[in-house]
Amino acid sequence: MKAVLCTKYGSPEVLLLKEVEKPTPGDNEVLIKIFATAVTASDIFIRSSDIPLQFRIPMRIMLGITKPRNPIIGLVLAGEIESIGKNVKRFKTGDQVYGLTGLGMGAYAEYKCMKETDSMHGCLAIKPGNITYEEATVAAYGGLLAFQYMEKGNIQPGQNVLIYGASGTSGTMAIQFAKFLGAKVTAVCSTSNLDLVKSLGADSVIDYTKVDVIDSGAQYDFILDAVGKIKTSKLKVACKNALATVGKYVSIDDGNLLLDSNRLAFVKELIEAGHIKPVIDKCYKFEDIVEAHRYVGKGHKKGGVVIKIR
Ligand SMILES: NC(=O)c1ccc[n+]([C@@H]2O[C@H](COP(=O)([O-])OP(=O)(O)OC[C@H]3O[C@@H](n4cnc5c(N)ncnc54)[C@H](OP(=O)(O)O)[C@@H]3O)[C@@H](O)[C@H]2O)c1
């Protein structure tokens, strides 16, 4: 099968498309024929290892000291179950699935074996029936990230919610989830994304390239920082200061992403009911994955960036 190998940490050019052996599922595994994967913010961190020292050391202990232990990286997949091991109960051949591969990585390939149960090595669920495999990769990564951190807000109808970093993979999902919960949503992004976030339901928008103070009267019940802790600004500080006394501020970097197939099943329900639609920025061919990494590495994707494998 074809797979993209990352044989050392470095620039996008370390990624090489190669022919490798097709995996065979164990008794508790399913073999997924991958139709689409995604290039996520996490893939960029893993490939480049270009992150602050305090995160880099634990990350390398987990993933590999001088190079990724599994040379096939990639965290997100959507595809079809081609075969199953004899103990598998949750899935059957032909099921269309989507999920994350976690520490197991391996989604930059034509096939991947995964356990049917959730673990640090991934979670898998039936894909929403009304979206493409490409859209499903955005829903899996953005949905898991956004929903995990939004749930911490216990958002009630009518509450004021601010999403900082609203135009990225998790931000675009977070806006729609907050609207589904009945919140009034303020979205923060740069000028070229204002129309996008409005189209997803944002009631008001703030352009972080033009504004670095906000009305001190604005009281937010919940703020999701969907950009992460590394990227900060005067405006982000101003947003924090506009939190209501009993409001909650949550960064998407607070803790680890939980690989939870129940949450994926919930994302599926909301998508099938028409409450949420994944946003795709660009879709690349498998052989153009280096270009996709260059683009995502700039940090300004709108929704998700997808790789079509077949
Ligand atoms: N906790 C965990 O386990 C975990 C796991 C995975 C990822 N994460 C975190 O999740 C973050 C978000 O992932 P994602 O894929 O949703 O991100 P993304 O798609 O890359 O989105 C980035 C967002 O940040 C905005 N942005 C970029 N530079 C900015 C700046 N200087 N000031 C304000 N906004 C800026 C972009 O808006 P414009 O394009 O409009 O500038 C865009 O809305 C990652 O960076 C990572 O920190 C956490």
| 99 C-beta closer than 6 A to ligand 1 | no
306-310 average pLDDT score = 98
Atom number, ligand 1, closest to the C-alpha of residue 257: 3
| 190 C-beta closer than 6 A to ligand 1 | yes
Q: What is the pLDDT of residue 10?
A: 96
Instruction: Check residue 10 and report its DSSP letter.
Output: S
125-141 average pLDDT score = 98
Confidence of residue 54 (pLDDT cuts 50, 70, 90): confident
Per-residue b/e over 182-221, b at no fewer than 16 CB within 10 Å?
ebbbbbbbeeebbebbeebbbeebbebeeeeebeeebebb
pLDDT in tens, 150-209: 999 999 999 999 999 999 999 999 999 999 999 999 999 999 999 999 999 999 999 999
| 168 C-beta closer than 6 A to ligand 1 | yes
Q: What is the pLDDT of residue 47?
A: 97
Question: Could you please report the per-residue DSSP string of 56-99?
Answer: HHHHHHHH-SSS-SSSB---EEEEEEEEE-TT--S--TT-EEEE
Q: What is the pLDDT of residue 56?
A: 86
pLDDT in tens, 67-121: 999 999 999 999 999 999 999 999 999 999 999 999 999 999 999 999 999 999 9
Q: How far is the CA of 90 from the centre of ligand 1 (A)?
A: 33
CA-nearest residue, atom 21 of ligand 1: 168
CA-nearest residue, atom 25 of ligand 1: 165
| 300 C-beta closer than 6 A to ligand 1 | yes
| 278 C-beta closer than 6 A to ligand 1 | no
The predicted model scores a pTM of: 0.96
Cα torsion 298, 209, 253, 75: sign:
negative
pLDDT in tens, 5-31: 999 999 999 999 999 999 999 999 999
211-221 average pLDDT score = 85
Residue 187 CA neighbour count, 13 Å, CB half: 28
Work out the angle between the directed axes of helices 169-180 and 133-151 (0-180°, nearest 10). Answer: 60
pLDDT in tens, 237-286: 999 999 999 999 999 999 999 999 999 999 999 999 999 999 999 999 99
| 251 C-beta closer than 6 A to ligand 1 | no
| 171 C-beta closer than 6 A to ligand 1 | yes
